[in-house]
Amino acid sequence: MKNNKLFIAIIIALVIGVLLGCAVFYQFPMYKEVFASNIRLLGTIFIRLIQMIIAPLVFTTLVVGIAKMGDMKMVGRVGVKAMTWFITASFISLAIGLAFVNFFKPGVNAKFDLENMQDAGDLVSKTDALSLKSFIEHLIPQSVFEAFTHNEILQIVVFAVFFGIALTTLGEKGNQIITLFDKISEVVLKMVTYVMWTAPLGVLGAIAGVVALNGLSIFLVYGKYLLAFAGGLIALWIVLIFVGYLFLGKDVWRLLKAIKEPLLIAFSTTSSEAVFPKLVENLKEYGCSPKVVSFVLPLGYSFNLDGSMMYLTFASIFIAQIYEVEMSLGSQIAMLLVLMVTSKGVAGVPRASLIVIVATCAMFNIPPEGIALILPIDHFCDMGRSMTNVLGNGLSTAAIDKFETQNEHE
């Protein structure tokens, strides 16, 4: 009942946010900037409360997950299965994005003013973050305290894996530490239940702010782009749920019901990270083994962002279409393969998808400043891709958990 109350509260907040944003945009346009900057603070409060507990939760749950597995063969087995799933899902997601942007051609004959675009220099300046040197720096922590301070999930995962493996080698000596971390993760999850009740306010603030600034007319201007992208997301959902059905059977519907709140919150706040703690809780309630959830889900948040993957090829080719840059099938496949690698190096970077797109465009002689053309509706696209990221990670964790349950029974 509590879960349903929160779900209903989020829906109501979503509707109120749209109505409030419309009222300001159409009735009081002179105040829209002030209104948007102030009401977005509600979303900022919610996101920061969640970010406050992500690092300790990821670290403690992953360490406990590895340590409780005990057997390094099991850690390796689960890790291989997880990475196989993530790489396959990433490839399929990128391919679907490529297929839909080529079929609908939303950038062909688009009436954009290419001379007067908003500055995208900030994003272009960040593209050096995608060099091999920076990727390694982003992957391996120089200081675990620095990784915790900046919520660098990928670096925390690397440290936690080493820590967890070392802990298992201590045998009985390490049990007290395992018990301590287990209790800490329980405390953090209890904090999650309190923080989640601020989610409706966060949703209201995020939606009201963006609608107040842009109104509903933005959907008409970018209608073809949004429809094509939504079609790609629907196709990706069908594929993911179908694969989930192959592994989980009818339980896939029970899983979707179990993670409905994280899906809705990710959609409303455009942050898949914001629902990580709640997703951990819901997957355990669904019936997944805590040790599998604790190991697979943090890895998924670094390597399995299906919605973001689909958006990368879709947006990159869209910009090429606007600038009438001809790309052969071979070039597009090369782009897909490049994105398979570069996208893995920016986990936890704000607006990571846009940064990857800018870098990829520059690599394939597509004007990188074209990113400015999709910035006005990036928020709406981010809603869909964040929600899809959560779905992909929920399904992968549940499927890998079922594999392990079957192995234990055999």
Helices 251-258 and 276-286, packing angle to 10 deg: 140
CB-based contact 371:259 (threshold 8 Å): no
CB-based contact 151:141 (threshold 8 Å): no
pLDDT of res. 229: 94
DSSP 53-118: HHHHHHHHHHHHHHHHH--HHHHHHHHHHHHHHHHHHHHHHHHHHHHHHHHH-TTTT----SSS--
Q: Determine the Cα angle at 212 with ends 208 and 216, to 5°.
A: 100
CA atoms of 213 and 205, how far apart (whole Å): 12
pLDDT of res. 350: 45
- Residue for token pair 């080719």: 317
- Residue for token pair 């899983």: 255
CA atoms of 94 and 90, how far apart (whole Å): 6
In the CATH hierarchy, which fold is given to the domain comprising 53-169+217-409? Proton glutamate symport protein (1.10.3860)
The CA radius of gyration of the chain, in Å to the nearest whole number, is: 21
pLDDT of res. 240: 96
DSSP 199-237: HHHHHHHHHHHHHHHHTTTHHHHTHHHHHHHHHHHHHHH
Query: Which residues, 6 or more positions from 276, have their beta carbon under 8 angstroms from its beta carbon?
Result: 50, 54, 57, 58, 297, 301
CA atoms of 47 and 275, how far apart (whole Å): 9
Residues (pLDDT < 50) of the chain are: 1-2, 116-119, 121, 123-124, 127-130, 345-350
The pair of structure tokens assigned to 191 is 């904090």
Q: Report the sign of the C-alpha dihedral through residues 112, 113, 115, 121, in that order.
A: negative
pLDDT of res. 138: 67
pLDDT of res. 131: 54
Helices (runs of H) and strands (runs of E) counted in the chain: 19, 0
Choose among 407, 393, 395: nearest CA to 58.
393
pLDDT of res. 70: 64
pLDDT of res. 118: 47
pLDDT of res. 3: 52
| 3 state SS of 217 | coil
Backbone torsion region of residue 107, taken as left when φ is above 0, otherwise alpha when ψ lies between -120 and 50, otherwise beta: alpha
Choose among 219, 221, 233: nearest CA to 101.
233
So where are the chain's domains? 53-169+217-409
